[in-house]
Amino acid sequence: MTAIVNPRCTVLRPHGEAAQTSIECAGDHISSKIVMLERARAIIRQEAVALERLSDRIDESICMLADHILSSTGIVLVCGVGKSRLVGEKISATLASTGTRSIMLDAVDALHGDLGRVRAGDVILALSNSGETAELMPLIRAVRQLPVIVAAITGRAMSSLAQAADVVIDIGSIQEACALGLAPTTSTTAMAAMGDALALILQERRGFTRQDFARLHPGGSLGWELTRVRDLMWPLEAIPVFGPDTPLSLALLSMCRAPRRLGVGAVLSGRSKVVGLLLGESIGRLVDGGATPDLNDPVRRHMQPPLTAISVHALLDQAAQLFRQHEIELLPVQDDQERFVGLICRQDVLKRPEL
């Protein structure tokens, strides 16, 4: 007899039945995974339905709150307790990153000194599904002593929080996806969606641009995609420049004496327009191949005419497209008058950082 461990019990079976037991256990496991998968899908569908209903329920209260924020001389202080606090942190961060100044205000710490963060003209955005959160109401009563706007996102329009607020965004009674109906799930999803809606209508009303977004997101892939060529190029002062008739010897000497020794020089016309690039690597290949370049040759005989150029104001993703399209390593950078102002390197552009 052999002891066989079943997920639900341990029994003694003859050796001959071990294989059958294994098949039964595998079947139980597959069945369990199917049940879990279907439940996960049902949860997501339930939250999607709740958001659809919320989009129909939303009214002009969000417009009123947006107008208060746009006309405010202060900042948006978001507060909540528990899961609502976590949602509030996300809302505050989204507001801040899209052009609306915002910080998170801890409801408990505020009653022990952090109330000093609140100033006249600020907007308090309080989150509570029940609208009766015990730790939150003392804060609301305290800020009511100041000339501020109090707004609430809540699931109960007649709650204590709603009655104390100037603006109420009512998300309505929402059934949680939790099988017990207790864990904040669907309600917090609805709060987060409402926060996104508020932040993005404010962003659009402010005329917040890609340039503004780049200024606030200088790190990671987001900032990288919105970075300008001027921020990454080798500037004019770092690059040796000479005319088309400059002797090769003087051009190479200038490249060797350059502080950064980039191995490249720019050949400019009389109007500071780039007409070619002199690459030390190309001269090196000639020598390695047994050729002896005449050092008295004018640079124009050894330069490589640029296939294209890019504006100093262009985004890095535009530069990346040109590098891939023309299969080149260097791009001349020019200003609005097509004057040469620097070079940008393929390797620098294509080494995108991780988020």
* Same domain, residue pair 179 and 293: no
CATH number at residue 126: 3.40.50.10490
Q: What is the tally of structural domains in the chain? A: 2
Q: pLDDT band at residue 200, thresholds of 50, 70 and 90?
A: very high
CATH number at residue 327: 3.10.580.10
Whether 33 is covered by a domain: the verdict is: no
Q: Across residues 27-46, what is the average pLDDT?
A: 89
* Same domain, residue pair 229 and 115: no
Whether 241 is covered by a domain: the verdict is: yes
Q: Which residue has the higher pLDDT, 261 or 75?
A: 75
Whether 250 is covered by a domain: the verdict is: yes
* Same domain, residue pair 236 and 286: yes
CA 166 to centroid of chain Cα atoms: 32
* Same domain, residue pair 183 and 61: yes
Whether 216 is covered by a domain: the verdict is: no
Q: What is the pLDDT of residues 148-166, one digit of tens each?
A: 999 999 999 999 999 999 9
Q: CB of 84 within 8 A of CB of 195?
A: no
Phi, psi of 103 (to 5 degrees): -135, 160
Determine how many CB atoms are found less than 10 A away from the CB of residue 243: 14
181's CB contacts (< 8 A; 6+ apart) are 175
If we measure between CA atoms, which residue out of 64, 171, 83, 172 comes closest to residue 123?
64
Residue 147 has pLDDT above 90, yes or no: yes
* Same domain, residue pair 246 and 344: yes
Q: pLDDT band at residue 2, thresholds of 50, 70 and 90?
A: very low
Full residue range of the structural domain in which residue 330 is found: 225-350
* Same domain, residue pair 168 and 106: yes
Residue 260 has pLDDT above 50, yes or no: yes
| Domain endpoint, select from 208, 238, 265 | 208
Residue 8 has pLDDT above 70, yes or no: no
pTM of the model: 0.69
| Domain endpoint, select from 164, 180, 208 | 208
Mean pLDDT taken over the chain: 88
Residue 6 has pLDDT above 80, yes or no: no
* Same domain, residue pair 264 and 332: yes
* Same domain, residue pair 68 and 168: yes
Q: CB of 234 within 8 A of CB of 260?
A: yes
At 286 the pLDDT is 82
Determine how many CB atoms are found less than 10 A away from the CB of residue 61: 17
CA distance 226 to 217: 8
